[in-house]
């Protein structure tokens, strides 16, 4: 992962690269560990209910907000939607001809 | 702790107060090299101190030390003392090997120091198993099994690494050679370790004492060790076997929720991932959600691992995407999932294919590729819905609410599907995709082939949404 992020910025020049050397070496360490997909041992054996994810990160309304509520994207002003509309117009136009 | 008065006092205290974790600590190998060396050498000093016992071997010395520690007055049986003497003798020998292995770490040359550590440590594990089987070790001492099992696995992996590294160093071509069965050779020690852990599993499971004093309380810790081992060995079927055995004996088992949360979470995570790999997503989501809810809020890396599987699960079961807030603390998950999620949400089919291809290596490595691939259906569904929305409304009769255009030419869908891609998709293929959507219940309506039209349902053409 660390190597791929390096790949994306080869244009930044050697100077930036040099300055970042100490950082990148420290970054590589966890990257090597990430190879390992193993579930880690917890530092403690047990914990209070207050420290569980469900209790600690639940809002007062009792919701965790993990997921988007709707799977619909009603934003029709983005690039892709506009492109789509153009395309559909073309289809319609060719029908009329 | 060095063998000597202090050590025996520690043993006596743990034994008298029945403090399993304190007792477990006395066989911890997780010590700096210098400490290990001190422990190993302490037996020599002990030997000199026992003027009368000059001719005794070290095991006898340890036995005498334990006997004189005050536990005898507490009613320990000579048989049990003998059992612990075996355990500590094996521990003592391990410290010697472990010190040597730690000291030489990083040195060149082919060594098998970690294999020696593994072999010695395995003797300790066997001495413990023997202790439960024939020396009357009580259930409260199971943290010793935890300590022993946990490190057996770590040493096995070190031994495997060491051997594999040596093989490559001595013969660089070995790395590329097709061995007869390279996998099993690569994990030789770990496979052996799995067998030993399985014996510990049996020691815990087969205990028939009343639950309050049963070794069954050790079952989840050991199962979790087995899971980790089998996962590394890539053997999901063996993991499934463990669950089967557990399910069969569940009636006589302590309540799952009475176990420490670290064990609950680790178990649920693995149970969830197993179901996931079998494409049983509903089951997988159930277990993973439980793991998620119970996990310690600060266990970031483990939370990340749970989400790696929970997110694809959720995509399949409920078709919804992770919220930004959920992914916020995990840059790695963002990198993994965000490009795909964006495409799914926007219905950008072609971009979805590209993103899937770009992340292929990573997805395959995490074993989520096939699941994510199924997200294409959701992307397609969202795209078709956009076509539907773009169709606008037909002129309504007076006094009635405007109605959406529900008759849509197949060619419009075709244009949407090919959008962004250079490839041309013919109408038959488009109809096929549409028919699949209808079949899967992601879109309601029918295809009128004669007219080249799709006639969508007037009430909820895209179930699960307002329109």
**If residue A91 lies in a helix (H) or strand (E), which one and from where to where?**
helix A79-96
What is residue A30's predicted lDDT score, i.e. its pLDDT? 37
Question: Are residues B303 and B274 part of one domain?
Answer: yes
Residue B171 lies in a domain: no
Q: Which residues of B touch A37 (CB under 8 A)?
A: 305, 366
Query: CB contact, 8 Å: B347 with chain A?
Result: yes
Q: What digits encode the pLDDT tens for the residues A7-43?
A: 444 444 444 444 444 443 433 333 333 456 899 999 9
The whole domain housing B45 covers 5-166+183-253
Residue B203 lies in a domain: yes
Question: Are residues B86 and B216 part of one domain?
Answer: yes
**Cβ separation B321–A76 shorter than 8 A:** no
Distance of CA B197 to the CA centre of its chain: 16
Question: Are residues B427 and B359 part of one domain?
Answer: no
**Mean pLDDT in runs of 10 for chain B (467 residues)?**
88 95 95 93 79 72 89 88 96 94 72 92 97 95 97 96 83 58 78 96 92 94 97 92 88 90 97 96 96 95 96 91 91 94 92 95 94 94 91 75 85 89 85 94 92 88 72
Q: Output the pTM of the full model.
A: 0.86
Question: Are residues B400 and B348 part of one domain?
Answer: no
Residue B329 lies in a domain: yes
**Pairing status of strand B393-394 against strand B445-448:** unpaired
> What tokens were used for B363?
């997805």
**Cβ separation A84–B322 shorter than 8 A:** no
**Cβ separation B266–A39 shorter than 8 A:** yes
Residue B175 lies in a domain: no
Q: What is the rounded distance in angstroms from the CA atom of residue A56 to the CA atom of residue B4?
A: 47
What is residue B74's predicted lDDT score, i.e. its pLDDT? 83
**Cβ separation B297–A56 shorter than 8 A:** yes
Residue B382 lies in a domain: no
- What is the b/e burial string over B251-270, where b = at least 16 CB atoms within 10 angstroms of the residue's CB? eebeeeeebbbbbbbbbbbb
Please name the residue of chain A whose CA is at the shortest distance from the CA of residue B308: A37
Is pLDDT larger for residue A72 or for residue B189? B189
What is residue A19's predicted lDDT score, i.e. its pLDDT? 43
Q: Which of B253, B278, B308 represents a domain boundary (last residue)?
A: B253
Residue B80 lies in a domain: yes
Question: Are residues B190 and B271 part of one domain?
Answer: no
Question: Are residues B411 and B369 part of one domain?
Answer: no
Query: CB contact, 8 Å: B230 with chain A?
Result: no
What is residue B233's predicted lDDT score, i.e. its pLDDT? 92
**Cβ separation B228–A38 shorter than 8 A:** yes
What is residue A68's predicted lDDT score, i.e. its pLDDT? 85
B461 contacts B467 by C-beta, under 8 angstroms: yes
- Of A55-59, A87-91, B264-268, B320-324, the range with the lowest mean pLDDT is A55-59
Question: Are residues B269 and B228 part of one domain?
Answer: no
Q: Which of B341, B373, B405 represents a domain boundary (last residue)?
A: B373
Q: Which residues of A touch B300 (CB under 8 A)?
A: none
Average pLDDT, rounded, for chain A: 66
Which of A41, A37, A40, A31 lies closest to B234 in space, CA to CA?
A37
Distance from A5 to chain B by nearest Cα, in Å?
Answer: 11
**What is the torsion angle, in degrees rounded to the nearest 10, for the CA atoms of residue B160, residue B162, residue B163 and residue B167?**
130
Count: domains in chain B: 3
Exposed, middle or buried by CB within 10 Å (0-12, 13-18, 19+), for B183? exposed
Question: Are residues B344 and B215 part of one domain?
Answer: no
Distance from B157 to chain A by nearest Cα, in Å?
Answer: 12
Query: CB contact, 8 Å: A53 with chain B?
Result: yes
Residue B238 lies in a domain: yes
What is residue B172's predicted lDDT score, i.e. its pLDDT? 65
First to last CA, chain A: 53
Question: Are residues B90 and B233 part of one domain?
Answer: yes
Question: Are residues B362 and B414 part of one domain?
Answer: no
Question: Are residues B332 and B308 part of one domain?
Answer: yes
So what's the ipTM on this one? 0.82
Q: What CATH number is associated with residue B446? A: 1.10.10.10
Residue B62 lies in a domain: yes
Triad B429, B430, B436: Cα angle to 5° = 90
Q: Which of B227, B253, B279 represents a domain boundary (last residue)?
A: B253
Question: Are residues B196 and B314 part of one domain?
Answer: no
Residue in the structure block whose two tokens are 């966890």: A30
What is residue B106's predicted lDDT score, i.e. its pLDDT? 62
Q: Which residues of A touch B321 (CB under 8 A)?
A: 67-68, 71
Task: Label residue A72 by pLDDT band (50, 70, 90).
Answer: confident
The size of chain A, in residues, is 97
B226 contacts B201 by C-beta, under 8 angstroms: yes
B249 contacts A19 by C-beta, under 8 angstroms: no
């Amino acid at each position: 992962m660390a190597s791929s992020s390096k790949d994306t910025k080869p244009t930044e020049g050697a100077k930036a690269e040099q300055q970042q050397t100490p950082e990148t070496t420290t970054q590589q360490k966890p990257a090597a560990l990430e190879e390992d997909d193993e579930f880690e041992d917890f530092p403690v054996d047990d914990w209070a209910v207050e420290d569980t994810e469900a209790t600690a990160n639940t809002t007062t309304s009792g919701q965790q907000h993990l997921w988007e509520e709707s799977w619909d994207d009603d934003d029709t002003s983005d690039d892709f939607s506009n492109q789509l509309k153009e395309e559909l117009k073309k289809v319609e136009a060719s029908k009329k001809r | 702790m060095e063998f000597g008065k202090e050590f025996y006092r520690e043993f006596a205290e743990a034994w008298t107060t029945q403090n399993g974790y304190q007792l477990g600590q006395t066989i911890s190998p997780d010590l700096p090299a210098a400490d290990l060396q001190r422990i190993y050498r302490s037996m020599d000093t002990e030997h000199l101190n026992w003027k009368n016992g000059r001719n005794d071997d070290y095991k006898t010395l340890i036995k005498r030390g334990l006997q004189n520690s005050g536990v005898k007055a507490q009613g320990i049986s000579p048989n049990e003392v003998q059992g612990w003497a075996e355990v500590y003798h094996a521990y003592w020998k391990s410290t010697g090997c472990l010190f040597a292995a730690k000291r030489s770490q990083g040195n060149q040359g082919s060594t098998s120091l970690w294999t020696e550590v593994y072999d010695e440590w395995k003797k300790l594990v066997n001495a413990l198993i023997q202790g439960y089987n024939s020396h009357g070790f009580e259930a409260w001492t199971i943290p010793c099994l935890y300590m022993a099992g946990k490190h057996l696995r770590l040493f096995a992996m070190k031994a495997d690494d060491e051997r594999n590294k040596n093989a490559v160093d001595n013969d660089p071509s070995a790395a590329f050679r097709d061995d007869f069965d390279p996998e099993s050779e690569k994990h030789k020690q770990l496979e052996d370790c799995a067998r030993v852990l399985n014996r510990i599993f049996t020691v815990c499971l087969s205990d028939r004492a009343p639950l309050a004093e049963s070794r069954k309380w050790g079952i989840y810790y050991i199962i979790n060790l087995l899971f980790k081992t089998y996962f590394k060995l890539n053997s999901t079927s063996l993991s499934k076997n463990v669950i089967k055995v557990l399910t069969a004996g569940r009636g006589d088992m302590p309540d799952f929720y009475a176990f420490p949360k670290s064990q609950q979470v680790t178990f649920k995570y693995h149970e969830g991932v197993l179901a996931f790999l079998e494409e049983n997503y509903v089951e997988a989501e159930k277990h993973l959600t439980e793991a998620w809810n119970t996990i310690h809020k600060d266990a970031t890396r483990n939370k990340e691992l749970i989400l790696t599987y929970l997110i694809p699960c959720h995509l399949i079961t409920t078709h919804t995407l992770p919220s930004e807030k959920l992914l916020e603390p995990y840059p790695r998950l963002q990198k993994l999932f965000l490009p795909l999620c964006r495409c799914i949400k926007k219905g950008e089919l072609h971009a979805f294919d590209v993103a899937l291809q770009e992340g292929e290596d990573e997805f395959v490595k995490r074993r989520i590729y096939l699941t994510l691939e199924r997200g294409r259906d959701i992307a397609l569904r969202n795209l078709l819905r956009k076509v539907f929305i773009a169709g606008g409304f037909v002129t309504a009769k007076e006094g009635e609410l405007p109605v959406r255009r529900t008759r849509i030419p197949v060619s419009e869908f075709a244009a949407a599907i090919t959008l962004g891609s250079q490839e041309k998709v013919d109408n038959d293929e488009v109809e096929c995709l549409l028919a699949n959507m209808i079949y899967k219940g992601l879109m309601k309506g029918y295809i009128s082939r004669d007219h080249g039209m799709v006639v969508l349902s007037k009430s909820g053409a895209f179930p699960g949404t307002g329109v």
